[in-house]
Amino acid sequence: MEKTFRKQNQWDLAIVGGGAAGLAAAVSAAGAGCSVVVLEKQSRVGKKLLAAGNGRCNFSNTRTDVGRYHGNDPEFARFALTKFDCEENIRFFEEIGIPAVEEEEGRIYPLSGQAAAVVDMLRLAAESRGAKLLTDAAVSSIIPQNGGFSVRSEAGRFYAEKVIIACGGKAGSELGGCEDGYKLLAGLGHKITATAPALVKVKTDPRLPRAMKGQRVRGSVRLRRKGETVAESRGELLFTDYGLSGIALMEVSRYLCFHDPSDYTLDLDLLPAFDEEDLNEELKRRRHRLGGLILEHFLTGLIPKKVGMTVLKEALAVKLSGKCGRLSDADLSAAAHLLKNFSLPVTGTLSWRDAQVTAGGADTADFDEKTMMSRLVPGLYAAGEVLDIDGDCGGFNLQWAWSSGRLAASSVLKALEEER
């Protein structure tokens, strides 16, 4: 009986988690003389990947650099990110049928613009190389046994020489984000650092954002702590009924992790193309040109109408039913000042469901950055978001998932070869 079990369920490598890092590891290890089983908790692999980049999958960034990563020791990521850099990952995807295109700020997307294509081709590449992908197969325990591991899952018990834990983090809880990876690693003696939702929408005093709900501006944002700038970004800002969203906002949100939000404000520049003096002059020209129009149209064309109306209402003590020509110089200065310094006190962030990535995770001090193998449990590896490494917005997190997953797979292949 035991002999039959071992034959049917014995694998060189079991990968726990069929997300970005797990699938990249499976494609890399399968077909190289290594039998691979991927055990995925959800009913399909790559569920979070499908939602990446609003369904377009911003899967890498040409500006990848260790400076774009965070955690207790971001330097840990350097080796993997260098060995499997952006160019190398683009080549990897090209080989499995996904050509890439570069968009602004070095962001890399699949040419098809479809995250679903990325998931399909990763899955097909893994299966065609011989990997077995099992879904509805949540892993509940990993026990070192006979030089390998006994892996208990919803789909049965497996024996594997090597295990890669690629369970991701807590972010995106509706897409499968969970704590399982941390629990499995903690059960094997690993330390898990404090976690917090990162790259997440921010709650502010809702009064003004609510009035502009759904409006987008291309502005810049500064995150200030007690008046001091701690992060800034430029790009899309989206007003919501709780505060702010948009790529530029997400970028600075990382710096709120692990801090008391009430110390922070978001200072927006709604018209970064002008400095305040030039903007004042522009408003004077508009007063002259548009003097006969009612005030609610005064800023339309410079910024979305609803945003313009909210700014004017807040900056001026006049009704918007009056005429633009009646604005005083002081009114114009007040409007220009508010457009350049639109300050919102932070009250918090949204939670795990809305976060794109987890700050914190399995302590990297317990892993060898050159192989991704545990220093505590030989033969056990980890890759992706489950580790205490998180990247900026813009493709950096998927880049980390591919690089660390592929490094773990190549280390497994090397170790198996040496042992045989």
Query: Does 224 interact with ligand FAD (rule: CB under 6 A)?
Result: no
Residue 325's CB is within 10 A of a number of other CB atoms, namely 13
- H/E stretch holding 161 reads strand 156-165
* 359 DSSP β-pair partners: 196
Q: How many C-beta neighbours within 10 Å does residue 360 have? A: 23
Nearer to ligand FAD, 52 or 133 (CB): 52
Closest chain position to ligand FAD (CB): 19
Smaller CB distance to ligand FAD: residue 66 or 320? Answer: 66
Q: In a 10 Å sphere around its CB, with 0-12 CB exposed, 13-18 middle and 19+ buried, how is residue 383 labelled?
A: buried
Q: Which of 15, 36, 47, 202 binds ligand FAD (CB under 6 A)?
A: 47
Hey, what are 367's tokens? Answer: 């892993």
**Beta bridge mates, 236:** 218
| One of 233, 364, 397, 411 touching ligand FAD (CB under 6 A) | 397
162 vs 34, 103, 185, 190, 363, CA distance in Å? 10, 38, 14, 17, 20
29, 37, 42, 416: which one binds ligand FAD (CB under 6 A): 42
Q: Are 107 and 101 in contact (CB under 8 A)?
A: no
Which residues, 104 to 163, sit near ligand FAD by CB under 6 A? 138-139
Q: How far is the CB of 55 from ligand FAD (least distance, A)?
A: 9
Q: Which of 395, 406, 409, 413 binds ligand FAD (CB under 6 A)?
A: 395
Stretch that binds ligand FAD, among 51-59, 144-152, 272-280, 336-344 (CB under 6 A): 51-59
Number of residues this chain uses to bind ligand FAD (CB under 6 A): 41
Distance, in Å, from the CA atom of 148 to the CA atom of 160, rounded to the nearest integer, reads 6
Of the pair 356, 374, the CB lying nearest ligand FAD is at 356
Contact region for ligand FAD (CB under 6 A) — 41-49, 65-73, 84-92, 215-223?
Answer: 41-49
Q: Is 164 in the site for ligand FAD (CB under 6 A)?
A: no
- 166 binds ligand FAD per the rule CB under 6 A: yes
Residues 259 and 231: their CA atoms lie apart, in Å, by 14
- Asked if 249 touches ligand FAD (CB under 6 A), the answer is no
Positive or negative: CA dihedral 142, 145, 149, 155: negative
C-alpha distances in Å from residue 15, one per residue of 69, 136, 174 = 25, 14, 22
- Residue 234 or 353: which CB sits closer to ligand FAD? 353
| Beta carbon nearer to ligand FAD, 114 or 333 | 114
Chosen residue from 110, 172, 246, 308 binding ligand FAD by CB under 6 A? 172
Nearest CB to ligand FAD, comparing residues 126 and 279: 126
Rounded to an integer, what distance in angstroms lies between the CA atom of residue 57 and that of residue 354? 17
Residue 150 has φ and ψ, to the nearest 5°, of -95, 120
5-24 residues near ligand FAD, rule: CB under 6 A: 16-22
As given in the structure block, the two tokens for residue 339 are: 């457009």
| Closer CB to ligand FAD, 172 or 360, in the complex | 172
Among 30, 119, 151, 178, binds ligand FAD (CB under 6 A): 178
DSSP 292: T
- Binding status of residue 58 toward ligand FAD by CB under 6 A: yes
Give the residue, chosen from 49, 212, 283, 412, that forms a contact with ligand FAD under the rule CB under 6 A. 49
Q: Is 176 in the site for ligand FAD (CB under 6 A)?
A: yes
Comparing CB distances to ligand FAD, the nearer of 235 and 395 is 395
Using the 8-state DSSP alphabet, how is residue 362 labeled? B
What tokens appear for 335 in the block?
């409007």
Q: Tell whether residue 171 is a contact of ligand FAD (CB under 6 A).
A: yes
Report residue 72 as tokens. 């207790």
Interactions with ligand FAD, residue window 330-389 (CB under 6 A): 356-357, 384-386
Determine contact, residues 139/165, Cβ cutoff 8 Å. Answer: no
Do 180 and 359 touch, CB atoms closer than 8 A?
Answer: no
Binding-site ranges for ligand FAD (CB under 6 A): 16-22, 39-42, 47-49, 51-53, 57-58, 138-139, 166-168, 171-172, 175-176, 178, 180-181, 356-357, 384-386, 395-398, 401
